[in-house]
């Protein structure tokens, strides 16, 4: 089951510069501030900064759909003509993430919170 798009992750080249920019934009400090991810929570929306996003092939922000089970969602989307970008990844604490491209190359994210 999909519960909505609640997360947007931006690929960034300079995590420190991006942190400063998004802190100024959003008016809140990040709740997660690490070398591999900076995350902000604003009105129920997660805004993430990924310094490895460009290396993963991301060319712009990706909206992440919250689902009950990422592996099952990936299977359904691939069966429907989608293409898995990379692998399903545990990003810590049991949170699973994956990106899938549709037939037109549009990339969408999937996230499963424990």
* pLDDT tens-place values along the chain, 114 residues long: 778 899 999 999 999 999 999 999 999 999 999 999 999 999 999 999 999 989 888 889 999 999 999 999 999 999 999 999 989 999 888 999 999 999 988 999 999 998
What is the reported pLDDT for 59? 86
The domain in which residue 52 lies consists of: 2-112
**Residue 9's CATH number:** 3.10.180.10
Q: How many domains does the chain have?
A: 1
Return all residues near 113 (Cβ < 8 A) that are at least 6 apart.
66, 94, 95
What is the reported pLDDT for 92? 85
Residue 111 neighbours by CB distance under 10 Å: 21
For 113, which DSSP code?
A: -
In whole angstroms, what is the distance from residue 11 CA to residue 61 CA? 6
What is the reported pLDDT for 67? 96
């Amino acid at each position: 089951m999909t519960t909505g798009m609640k997360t947007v992750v931006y690929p960034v080249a300079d995590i420190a510069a991006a942190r400063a920019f998004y802190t100024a934009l959003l008016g809140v400090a990040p709740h997660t501030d690490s070398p591999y991810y900076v995350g902000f929570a604003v009105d129920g929306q997660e805004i993430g900064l990924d310094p490895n996003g460009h290396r993963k092939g991301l060319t712009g922000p990706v909206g992440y759909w919250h689902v009950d089970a990422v592996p099952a969602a990936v299977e359904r989307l691939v069966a429907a003509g989608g293409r898995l970008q990379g692998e399903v990844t545990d990003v810590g604490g049991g949170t699973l993430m994956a990106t899938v491209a549709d037939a037109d190359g549009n990339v969408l994210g999937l996230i499963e919170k424990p």
